[in-house]
Structure 1
């Protein structure tokens, strides 16, 4: 018979990554965001925890707005009863459709001590840090969603010169868009007056082409996952260089409002 014993003395205790816990609220259909965030933050002293939020295709305004109904549960299940330093809502078009302030308030009702970010808030902060205002935007979305994305950034006093979508309706199919196709779309569609390119969507394999596009276009390239990773570190007060993170990671501390 196996002998059963218990430790008979008080054991030492310590926190795991104190001051560096990042919670991701990811769409249940998103294949990419966790791998992308871990790739970008692999050398930073942070811990990444993920929970999934309900989402149903197609990717349209109605279905994006509907995610708000599951947000309380998704937030509460990120380490229940424990501190999460920054919570990132991992959907660019979802943030636009629901509203960044509404998302922040709803998340902080459940996790009041957590700072909150998302791809479009993070991208806006990156544009401010880079000192750019004239943008080309490339997305996987349909025109209905692109119209709202363009308005979001225009309301931030950014000049959206043009916005181009791949017209993909299923979230999982967004990840199937090859990075070469993203690169070719950027090279063909970037406006000659653009001061930066924004590639929207956490499910899009865009971080693979940041360095190449920055070299070929001669302007900063901001993507949803890259912007979120950068902004998370800014909010934590832990700026960190990332070799494939593009020009934004070459900056030091920046305005994160």
Structure 2
């Protein structure tokens, strides 16, 4: 074996901007949606956090102690621009402020993003404070989310759920079913529709849902992708829909 004694020149890090994803062990959707991120110098690096179905307040709360460790696992000792914790319902059950603090503890300096913090910011940016909330969850899991939105200053014109407990099944909801559910859920007087759950494949069809309901649509993954891009200084469109067209 020959050890080559050559001068080694190192480039800067391969991509100038970097986003970390903390996804559930059972997640089929978030990484796929974030793959839509345009190749404009932003890298996406993911890790997974333990989770076991069914989706209930108790199983969601059980993730609280793992968030910091998961965030720290993403490119250890290297900076990230943002870290996304990809679970809407757990962000509510654990507490959005608590989740973002846990991200900061694991990855200091990174912008902590949750579907709730990103969803609120997206809806405010769209000028929507009267909304319809649609979730795939059961009523006991949906109710704390409804209260969270109301506490955040939103008026719920409509509140609907699909009564599901397995996030793997939520990820299999067809695009047609999502559109039909959105059409059935939207209540008069709503200024936007928020579709909860990072498992639901709504981000890539946001424009189709908007055509069906006649309102701006914000899904959990669409909101976190939008917020992550802005944390990286990028305001381009990654996916169709009114949110992505905001300057």
Structure 2 length-normalised TM: 0.96
For the 8 Å contact 2:130–2:155, the answer to whether it is kept is yes
Which residue matches 2:10?
13
For the 8 Å contact 1:137–1:199, the answer to whether it is kept is yes
CA distance in structure 2 between the partners assigned to 1:10 and 1:164 by the alignment: 63
CA distance in structure 2 between the partners assigned to 1:31 and 1:15 by the alignment: 32
Q: Deviations over 1:188-212 (max 9, x none)?
A: 2200211000111111011243111
- CA displacement at 1:116 relative to structure 2: 0.7
Which residue matches 2:54?
58
Which residue matches 1:24?
21
For the 8 Å contact 1:17–1:46, the answer to whether it is kept is no
Which residue matches 1:119?
115
Structural mapping, 1:1-257, within 5 Å: 4-39=1-36, 41-242=37-238, 244-252=239-247
CA distance in structure 1 between the partners assigned to 2:184 and 2:63 by the alignment: 34
Q: Matched residue of 1:197: which SS? A: strand
Structure 1 portions without partners, runs of 5+ = 253-257
Which residue matches 1:255?
none
For the 8 Å contact 1:53–1:70, the answer to whether it is kept is yes
Q: Matched residue of 1:49: which SS? A: strand
Query: For the structure 1 residues 216 and 170, does the alpha-carbon distance in structure 2 shift closer, same or farther, using more than 3 Å as the test?
Result: closer
For the 8 Å contact 1:19–1:85, the answer to whether it is kept is no
For the 8 Å contact 1:88–1:118, the answer to whether it is kept is yes
Structure 2 portions without partners, runs of 5+ = none
For the 8 Å contact 1:134–1:193, the answer to whether it is kept is yes
CA distance in structure 2 between the partners assigned to 1:67 and 1:53 by the alignment: 7
Q: Matched residue of 2:19: which SS? A: strand
Greater CA deviation, 42-51 or 79-88? 42-51
Note the aligned Cα RMSD (angstroms): 1.3
CA distance in structure 1 between the partners assigned to 2:31 and 2:13 by the alignment: 19
